[in-house]
Structure 1
């Protein structure tokens, strides 16, 4: 069975959702409820009558074809009079023996033959009521169809949640991009600040005019290179682009996004440790806050 179509172009799926479906099959009311929450891997468990255990592998395959990640709980109930209907059974051979012997006893002892159906029905070993249980074969297709409907409803909710996550994450990514560009624009200010600091120190010791200008510029360049965040900025831009691209692909993308979140945090930590510019440090704090919010959202993406 292919992934159930839910009639939506949404690419990302939330791991949180609920679906329910019910149908009647051969006098049996089949009800399936399925719920899922976020989980690192795919994990499904079934709560259903023991008589359905032989179907578990088939039912698990249906769920796994459509849900790739998350903790999934499936509840299956079977109800209806057909599940436990009673049937009257007769042991005809034993009854034949009863009647034959009773006739012989009547002839032998010259007894009046007053046998009646009402008397025979009292013979518990001849007539007995047996509870009839509906076999799995009789409701198998109904259970499978109902499960597929419930999974479809689950996917619909997960898709709707995914749309909300998608919009929220894109909004935060755009805010991050703006702040990263602002930081990038401040790199020249950092270099100028290094130069101003060196010249100020030299001036304090009356050494500014004695030091070769080229030496000053070389020292400034060395300090600027040591504190350069150009590579980190480039990688952050790349991570943002990859994040946007992954959000527009189908399938299980949560782990990929989680990895990118970790990498963005790594780059921001490096920028924060290198920067001596107050505004850059403040933007790094803001960016790390945005990344943490995205991380929380990513935790719920399939």
Structure 2
């Protein structure tokens, strides 16, 4: 089953007072290229997230975006050390009174907040961190699943296009076979006239004649190319219907198809067949272009 490299999936998971929205976008790329936009608090989890993306998305340019929102009241990470700040305020006021100075209470409070250890850092709750990480993983996993689903749907569309292109090439090959039957008598007549001229020439060389005959027979005969092209087309459809179908393998087969089409065009020496060859090349270019978008 084909999968396109173009995909998109998003998901929002809410648990434990945290809502996580994950978006996964994928585009064409020769290799796997991952870019992550992760909140700072989960920056140490980037390697694990990359492993998830690598294992499931395989190939393409991948962009992961995460947004977090708290849905319940939370304690701040940094709080005021109230008892110490209160002590600072009393000490500052007493010092000012002893110096017969008058300082507004607001300024005293500001000065107290600037003193050492006026703030306390709340210790992290390991249980809450584990719960948040589980929520984030669930959101990313669901976004990946939806992205793969998108890729699969796009792959089904591509598969239909490939079948259409191959059918057109097969139809043109049938036209080539039909025209080849008409072409042979004309080629034979040309060769007969050439042989007649050689026989009438006083300097006729029997060895040279045999060499020329073999050369022209090989040059104009496209029987093997037609058979190989037909086999390549069948093999392409066979691979297309398997679970192992991938863009690289299909591209390799399309290159072999191109070689046979080019050889037919160069050996046929027939205007009608050349037109069919051009049409086959046009469809083949569409195939090559689309294989670049297949995983």
TM-score range, shorter chain: 0.7 to 0.9
- Cα 1:173–1:284 change in 2 (3 A) is same
Q: 1:193 aligns with which of 186, 191, 206?
A: 186
- 1:220 deviates by 5.9
Matched, 1:227 2:217: no
Q: 1:248 aligns with which of 234, 241, 249?
A: 241
Matched, 1:288 2:288: no
Distance of 2:164 and 2:16 partners within structure 1: 52
CA contact (8 A) 1:246 1:257 kept: yes
Q: 1:64 aligns with which of 54, 57, 71?
A: 54
CA contact (8 A) 2:38 2:46 kept: no
CA contact (8 A) 1:33 1:75 kept: yes
Could you say which structure has the higher helix fraction? 2
- 1:169 deviates by 0.8
- 1:263 deviates by 1.8
Q: After the TM superposition, which residues 140-219 of structure 1 pair with which residues of structure 2 at under 5 Å, given as runs?
A: 140-201=133-194, 207=200
- Cα 1:221–1:195 change in 2 (3 A) is farther
CA contact (8 A) 1:27 1:81 kept: yes
Distance of 2:69 and 2:150 partners within structure 1: 27
CA contact (8 A) 2:19 2:71 kept: no
Cα displacement string for residues 21-60 of structure 1 (whole angstroms, at most 9, x for unaligned residues):
0112322221101100111112211111122122112212
Distance of 2:17 and 2:222 partners within structure 1: 71
Deviates more, 1:18-27 or 1:227-236: 227-236
- What RMSD in Å do the two structures reach over aligned CA positions? 3.7
Distance of 1:75 and 1:83 partners within structure 2: 24
- 1:129 deviates by 7.2
- 1:130 deviates by 5.6
Q: 1:30 aligns with which of 20, 23, 30?
A: 20
Distance of 2:27 and 2:151 partners within structure 1: 10
CA contact (8 A) 1:180 1:233 kept: yes
Deviates more, 1:81-90 or 1:250-259: 81-90
Question: Counterpart of 1:113?
Answer: none
What TM-score, normalized by structure 1, do the two folds share? 0.75
Question: Counterpart of 2:2?
Answer: 12
Question: Counterpart of 2:11?
Answer: 21
Q: After the TM superposition, which residues 241-280 of structure 1 pair with which residues of structure 2 at under 5 Å, given as runs?
A: 241-251=234-244, 253-280=246-273
What TM-score, normalized by structure 2, do the two folds share? 0.77
Deviates more, 1:52-61 or 1:153-162: 52-61
CA contact (8 A) 1:49 1:76 kept: yes
Deviates more, 1:63-72 or 1:250-259: 250-259
Distance of 1:275 and 1:60 partners within structure 2: 53
Deviates more, 1:30-39 or 1:81-90: 81-90
Distance of 2:215 and 2:264 partners within structure 1: 17
- 1:198 deviates by 2.9
Matched, 1:50 2:50: no
CA contact (8 A) 2:2 2:152 kept: yes
Distance of 1:194 and 1:217 partners within structure 2: 17
Distance of 2:195 and 2:224 partners within structure 1: 31
